[in-house]
């Protein structure tokens, strides 16, 4: 029977997060591990035959404070999906086009100078 274990772990940054995942995945019986919670500070581990107390003590030894939050079965719950339908009326988008301005070409006259200096 699959079980789900949730452990709250005090983590400082990405380095400690990767350490927590390495420790959790190496534990015997673990099939998946991930972070949950508002601040992503809870480790959720799913597997068969997981010893939650041993996993929590490993996290305490290697990372820091860790609290065992819950241990339960990992049954998938069906979530209600609420579909948001578009409005029933037909609306046409506004069509806007940029005004057309004709391009005017002016002739450029080049004169041949005999002076070697082009600045004066």
**Average pLDDT per 10 consecutive residues for the chain, totaling 120 residues:** 91 88 91 89 91 92 92 74 63 66 73 66
Query: Closest Cα partner for 6 from 58, 56, 76, 81?
Result: 56
The model's pTM is: 0.61
What is the pLDDT at residue 100? 73
Task: Give the whole-angstrom CA distance, residue 18 versus residue 34.
Answer: 11
Which residues are bridge partners to 8 per DSSP? 42, 67
Cite the DSSP H helix spans in the chain.
14-26, 52-62
* 48, 31 Cβ separation under 8 angstroms: yes
Look at residue 88 in the predicted model and tell me its pLDDT: 60
Cα angle value 104/108/110 (rounded, 5°) = 175
Would you call 77 helix, strand, or coil by DSSP?
coil
- Judge contact between 75 and 60, C-beta under 8 A: no
């Amino acid at each position: 029977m699959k079980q789900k274990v949730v452990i709250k772990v005090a983590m400082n940054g990405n380095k400690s997060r990767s350490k927590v995942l390495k420790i959790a995945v190496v534990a015997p019986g673990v099939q998946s591990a991930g972070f949950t919670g508002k601040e992503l500070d809870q480790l959720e581990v799913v597997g068969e035959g997981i010893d939650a107390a041993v996993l929590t003590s490993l996290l305490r030894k290697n990372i820091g404070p860790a609290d065992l939050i819950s241990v339960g079965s990992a049954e998938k719950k069906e979530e209600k999906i609420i579909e948001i339908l578009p409005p029933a009326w037909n609306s046409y988008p506004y069509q806007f086009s940029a005004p057309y301005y004709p391009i005017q070409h002016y002739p450029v006259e080049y004169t041949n100078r005999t002076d070697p200096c082009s600045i004066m």
